[in-house]
């Protein structure tokens, strides 16, 4: 559905979308709306994100300004000696600080300085406080991931007592409500060097985490220029290292050498090319790491000649063998655009579903396990050391047309993020699909996932048995999974059209939606992609 401007939001939860749309309705900026969404999602999607995690922001406007805010927590200043991999759960996995809240404050400062934003921080997070205090009905997604981890949860301390929820009944988080209220009273830096920060430092120490008060106080969002690549006349923007935004752009650069529009959207050859482009880009991905203190990579990931060579290396008649490891992770994507076409595209995460499983004291804050993305192999580019940021899967995107924002997009899914974006972007750009159509396309996941430990190519059954069989004939080890399975993540997209209209949607694999707001009037919204 196309709707007239002035503003739109999209997120994986209707309550969060409503909070963002309400900000636009009272004249707020896209960044202010995104902060309201971020805070609300921290409450209503605790299985994927929270204030104990991180966030990556891309922002752009019609004046040609584009910035990236890397809200990535750093490794503790004092680390234990590692003789094995960093644990995936528990206190030993809580080795990086949490930068999401600081990223909210950094983005709001940009909004105030560049866009004239004036919405009070306390007002923006007020809906989140109310949801934590008064409760909400958990979405199917929350129940799905709690049940998925049911056998592990008994080993996560007090986790089950806090997050057990009865379907259809209100779920309340009083500790988190108190923590958010402290942020509203004291400001966002209270999380790091204020009253809340002191509580968090005490709780982390009691849990056995290596993080301390000094680590929280040192946590800062980094502001950088995004990385860009031309694709079919659009400029695709992505966050720089240590994120895998470089991998997403490399995939699209490789695909630019093929005439995808000449193939039917459900063609097995189209999906073969997408998968093979992912493989070629992922071969370089181990070189992505925190640039601070690391040697520069031996080549430019986005060098046109290198990408052309990778495209030439793709065999259209045979799949490249793929035994490479898979990185797990979950997150939430949300985006907002306001009446002046200013845009924010954001991903927020606690890494794995339910993060580390560690609740910090009585704050209600569930801490992330992003430190598990580090290597413990000496000499590895992503090897852990004090103060370092890990390799990062989050990579929200913005596409520019004639130097103005045209597409906002992103997805949940760790390794699956660049893979899903290859399907989503080629649908939106090569085939001219609406956001709803592009998000409904069959997806694939290469490598191991939560549900399948084989190095196979998982394909949604909606692609069709004949097409899946053709992919197998090309040499792919194919595993068919149910259509619209939660395993394939939740993506979202907004398109800003030339004629001053916009369309948006969130994934049919979840409960998300897109809302249009009529600014400077009483709240009014229209559901673009109805909750399922």
Whether the pLDDT of residue 519 is over 60: the answer is: no
> Is CATH 1.10.246.130 the classification given to domain 224-328+398-488?
yes
Give the mean model confidence (pLDDT) for residues 56-72: 97
Tens-place pLDDT, residues 108-121: 999 999 999 999 99
Task: Report the pLDDT averaged over residues 142-164.
Answer: 92
Q: Which pLDDT belongs to residue 501?
A: 80
Predicted pLDDT at 321: 86
Residue 449: the pLDDT is 52
Inter-axis angle of helices 268-282 and 465-473, nearest 10: 50
Least confident of 88-102, 291-305, 346-360: 291-305
Neighbours of 73 (CB within 10 A): 28
Tell me what pLDDT residue 455 has. 64
Helix (H) or strand (E) holding 419: helix 416-429
pLDDT at 288: 85
Residue 515 has pLDDT above 80, yes or no: no
For 368-413, the pLDDT digits (tens) are 999 999 999 988 888 999 999 998 888 899 999 999 999 999 988 7
What number is the average pLDDT over the span 322-340? 76
Q: Where are the domains of the chain?
A: 8-221+331-371, 224-328+398-488
Single out the residue of 294, 307, 291 nearest to residue 239, CA to CA.
291
Q: What is the mean pLDDT of residues 123-150?
A: 95
Residue scoring higher pLDDT (418 or 198): 198
Cα–Cα distance list, 287 to 54, 72, 96, 294, 386 (Å): 22, 18, 21, 10, 20
Percent of the chain with pLDDT over 90: 76
What pTM value is reported for the model? 0.92
What band does 456 get if pLDDT is binned at 50, 70 and 90? confident
Contact 212, 77 (CB under 8 A): yes
Name residues whose C-beta falls within 8 Å of residue 246's C-beta, 6 or more positions apart in sequence.
Answer: 227, 238, 240, 285, 288, 301, 302
Between 518 and 240, the more confident residue is 240
d(CA 407, CA 422): 14
Does 61 have pLDDT greater than 90? yes
Instruction: For residue 445, give the 3-state DSSP assignment.
Output: strand
Of 107 and 507, more confident: 107
The catalytic residue positions are 331
Task: State yes or no: pLDDT of 532 exceeds 70.
Answer: no
Band (289; pLDDT cuts 50, 70, 90): confident
Q: State yes or no: pLDDT of 324 exceeds 50.
A: yes
């Amino acid at each position: 559905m196309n709707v007239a401007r002035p503003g739109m939001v999209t997120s994986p939860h209707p309550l969060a979308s409503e909070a963002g749309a309400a900000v636009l309705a009272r004249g707020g900026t896209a960044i202010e709306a995104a902060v309201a969404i971020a805070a609300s999602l921290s409450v209503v999607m605790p299985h994927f994100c929270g204030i104990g995690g991180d966030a990556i922001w891309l922002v752009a406007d019609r004046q040609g300004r584009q910035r990236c805010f890397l809200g990535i927590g750093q490794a503790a200043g004092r680390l234990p000696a590692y003789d094995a991999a960093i644990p995936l759960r528990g206190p030993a996995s809580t080795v990086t600080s949490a930068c999401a809240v600081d990223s909210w404050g950094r983005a709001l400062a940009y909004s105030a300085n560049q866009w004239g934003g004036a919405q009070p921080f306390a007002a923006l997070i007020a809906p989140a406080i109310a949801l934590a205090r008064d409760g909400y009905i958990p979405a199917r997604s929350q129940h799905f991931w709690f049940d998925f981890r049911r056998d592990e949860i008994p080993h996560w301390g007090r986790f089950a007592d806090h997050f057990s929820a009865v379907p259809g009944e209100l779920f309340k988080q009083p500790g988190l409500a108190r923590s958010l209220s402290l942020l509203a009273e004291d400001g966002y830096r209270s999380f790091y060097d204020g009253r809340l920060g002191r509580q968090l430092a005490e709780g982390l120490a009691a849990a056995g985490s290596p993080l301390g008060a000094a680590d929280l106080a040192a946590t800062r969002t980094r502001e950088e220029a995004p990385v860009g690549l031309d694709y079919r006349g659009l400029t695709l923007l992505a966050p720089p290292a240590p994120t895998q935004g470089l991998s997403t752009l490399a995939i699209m650069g490789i695909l630019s050498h093929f005439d995808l529009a000449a193939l039917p959207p459900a063609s097995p050859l189209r999906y073969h090319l997408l998968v093979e482009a992912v493989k070629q880009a992922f071969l370089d991905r181990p070189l992505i790491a925190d640039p601070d203190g690391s040697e520069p990579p031996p080549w430019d990931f986005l060098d046109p000649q290198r990408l052309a060579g990778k495209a030439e290396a793709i065999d259209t008649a045979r799949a490249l063998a793929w035994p490479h490891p898979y990185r797990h992770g979950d997150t939430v994507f949300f985006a907002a655009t306001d009446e002046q076409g200013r845009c924010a595209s954001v991903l927020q995460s606690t890494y794995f579903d339910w993060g580390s499983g560690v609740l910090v004291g009585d704050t209600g804050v569930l801490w992330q396990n992003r430190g598990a993305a580090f290597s413990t192999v000496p000499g590895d580019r992503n090897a852990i050391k004090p103060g370092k940021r890990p390799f990062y899967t989050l990579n929200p995107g913005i596409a520019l047309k004639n130097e103005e924002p045209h597409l906002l997009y992103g997805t949940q899914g760790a390794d699956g993020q660049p893979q899903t974006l290859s399907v989503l972007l080629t649908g939106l750009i090569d085939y001219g699909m609406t956001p709803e159509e592009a998000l409904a396309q069959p997806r694939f996941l290469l490598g191991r996932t939560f549900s399948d430990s084989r190095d196979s190519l998982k394909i949604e059954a909606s692609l069709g048995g004949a097409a899946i069989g053709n992919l197998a004939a090309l040499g792919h080890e194919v595993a068919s999974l149910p259509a619209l399975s939660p395993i394939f993540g939740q993506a979202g997209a907004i398109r800003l059209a030339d004629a001053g209209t916009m369309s948006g949607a969130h994934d049919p694999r979840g409960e998300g939606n897109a809302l249009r707001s009529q600014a400077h009037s009483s709240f009014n919204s229209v559901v673009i992609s109805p909750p399922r």
